Structure 1
Amino acid sequence: MQKLLIAIPCFNEEENIESIYQRIISDINFKELGLEHEILFIDDGSKDHTVDVFKKLSDAHDDVSYISLSRNYGKETAMVVAFDYFHHDALIIMDADLQHPPVLVNDMVKLWRLGYDDVYAKRNKREGEGWFKIKTSQWFYKLLGKISKTPVTPDAGDFRLLDKKVVVALRSLRESQRYTKGLYNVVGFKKVAIEFDAAPRLHGKSKWSFRSLVNLALEGITSYTTAPLRISTFLGFIVSAFAFIYMIYVFIKTLITGPTQSGFPTIVILVLFLGGCILISNGILGEYLARVFMESKNRPLYFIEEKHTHDQKKDN
């Protein structure tokens, strides 16, 4: 019988844990699909009673495991925990807020058995999210798709079924500055989309602040493509070309009309413009250099504070 691991990263989700477990058990037809399953909750340094709820569920149900990290590392790293723990035939990643409908897993499994290695859920509607967040997300994916060599799938998040071979490939990518939505396309394999309407959060508020979304966007651009470096190079050539043309214009004008004392505002504008271009280029270089510095440390991606897994239950 094939084994399915359902991994759910959590950060301050105590109100949602029991609800999502009940929905998984009621909505996914494990017996009809012929699947053994394990539900792995990954605590990403929660400050509420999320871990206590994990313990309660794990004591009451043999199919529940949990891993608690030593601090908040972010969802990207929490998913690495799932990749490292994985020893099954397929992996489902989903959020704890029930915006990802568990019933969709039934269709994902069927597509997986048809030969697809990466069955990803693509959002049609995003209820509970503001216009600004939706639009900026669309603009970001369009920008990333144009500047990156590897295709980027818009409106496709981390809610997906991954075959063993995909998980093994993702596990081998150990960079600390991660953008997993891009890594899915980096490793490749046979993919297929399945559409759904994202529901509002069941309880609580989104943990993604504007600042964290901006940081994620920067991670996506700088870890997924080197296009900003080329853009800064092209900007340098363009500014130099305009400066050269302007120099010729000033030289010819001086020959025709003679020297003049005017032009101070023009000089100030050019100096400020060139200074801004230099600072932008240095900033882009600094972003990439900082990421090289972090990667060169080769630190472990995470530390585990506590865990209670299916394998430990068998040993006991």
Structure 2
Amino acid sequence: MFRPPTLSVVFSFYNETDVIPELVDRLRKVFGLLMGEGRLSSYELIFVNDASTDNSRELLEQLGREKGDIRLLNMSRNFGVSPCVLAGMERATGDAVVYMDADLQDPPETISAMLAAYHEGHDVVHTVRRSRTGETKIKLLITRLGYSILRYVSTVPIQINAGDFKLLSRRALLHLIQLKEKRPFMRGLVSWIGFKQTTIYYHREARFAGRTKFLIISPKVITNFFSSALIAFSDLPLQFSSWCGALISVSSVFYSFWLIVELLRGQPIPVWSWPIAIFAFLSGVQLFSIGLLGLYIASIHVESKRRPNYIVESSYGFDYSPEPDPSGPSMP
């Protein structure tokens, strides 16, 4: 006998007062229709407040009193999107969990199609953007280039234009939250856990209100690409430096043989010019390789600290205490 599932929707947000009322209204309409059709039994909206400085917190508490469907976690400081998403996931009680941005670029109405894929037996439902309204050609080009690089070098499949708007079954979620990386790259981790996965396509809308918090060429985005996305799922930088070192070393051997042949032929060769050029070139390659190794060493350094990914300052709307055990996350 078919039992309609429960659904949790997780948002990480920062200063989204202008968007939250419209977001909550559209979500409630979508879930009202799904429950009326018998495809959903209940839902909860888990908002993780990444230390907002506006009145988003008060607004959500007010909206939560209307229907009791809103849960709120307030971070003690700004920890970033992925740690906040994981904080919400660890406290989600639904049979399935959707995580998405709170800026309404990803339309809540798409959740209906995602839930249909879940009913078909899929544990992970990815969403891929067919088009992206309100974004410049330069941003689209850089984004596509970044996805292409990740897809080429990654050890797990990374879909182009698949963002952080996904549905996970309960068992997929439980495996995901066991991964305790300090710089989690969610798109890679969700693919890495496996299970039955599928993809649906949608049109990404322009931001409903406010300004984006993630400029495409900002230091924050670039740093995240190299220190989280690239390193977490690829050892190609290490291989690249090794292959460069081997190639240059072999080339220098052949060059040395050429110098000897030229000397035997009696050709004049300056003693100091070429060795200095080779030495300078190899020194540059060596520094470059050390820099790549430094990225991995920095990642190991962060992991060795064993700091928690987040600290909850307060909460609202939970029937149970959302505070995790200090030794690790706990589930209700």
TM-score (norm 1): 0.94
SS of the counterpart of 1:105?
A: helix
Give distance in 1, aligned partners of 2:280 and 2:171. 53
Distance 1:308 1:118 in 2: 28
Q: Work out the CA distance in 2 between the residues paired with 1:184 and 1:253.
A: 59
1:22 and 2:25 are equivalent in the alignment: yes
**Corresponding position of 1:274:** 282
The more displaced of 66-75 and 244-253 is 244-253
Letter of the 1:30 partner, please give it. Answer: L
Report the Cα offset of residue 258 of structure 1: 5.0
**CA–CA separation in structure 1 for the residues paired with 2:135 and 2:281:** 38
* Equivalent residue number for residue 101 of structure 1: 107
* 1:233 corresponding residue in structure 2: 242
Contact 1:67/1:309 (<8 A) preserved: no
TM-score, length-normalised on structure 2?
0.90
Structure 2 unaligned residues grouped into runs of 5+: 322-332
| Cα distance between partner residues in 1 of 2:179 and 2:281 | 40
Between the aligned partners of 2:181 and 2:40, the Cα distance in structure 1 is 36
Q: Which residue number in structure 2 is paired with residue 221 of structure 1? A: 230
Question: Is 1:11 aligned to 2:14, yes or no?
Answer: yes
Question: For the Cα contact (< 8 Å) 2:47–2:88, is it kept in 1?
Answer: no
Aligned counterparts, 1:1-316, within 5 A = 1-28=4-31, 29-31=33-35, 32=37, 33-209=39-215, 210=217, 211-218=219-226, 219-261=228-270, 264=273, 266-311=274-319
TM-superposed CA distance for 1:307, in Å, is 0.6
Compute the displacement of 1:216 (Å): 2.1
Matched residues, number: 312
Shift of 1:246: 1.3
Deviations 1:53-98 (A, max 9, x none): 2222223330011101111111111111122112220001111111
User: How big is the shift at 1:312?
Assistant: 5.1
Question: Does structure 1 retain, via aligned residues, the 8 Å contact 2:73–2:88?
Answer: no
Instruction: Calculate the aligned-residue CA RMSD, in Å.
Output: 1.7
CA distance in 1, matches of 2:137, 2:272: 46
Amino acid at match of 1:138: R
Letter in 2 for 1:182: G
Q: Kindly indicate which of the two structures has a greater share of residues assigned to helix.
A: 1
> How far does residue 289 in structure 1 lie from its aligned partner after superposition?
0.6
| TM superposition shift of 1:12 | 1.5
| Shift in Å, 1:42 | 0.7
Deviations 1:178-208 (A, max 9, x none): 1110001110111111100100001111111
Give the deviation of 1:309 after TM superposition.
2.6
The AA in structure 1 aligned to 2:186 is T
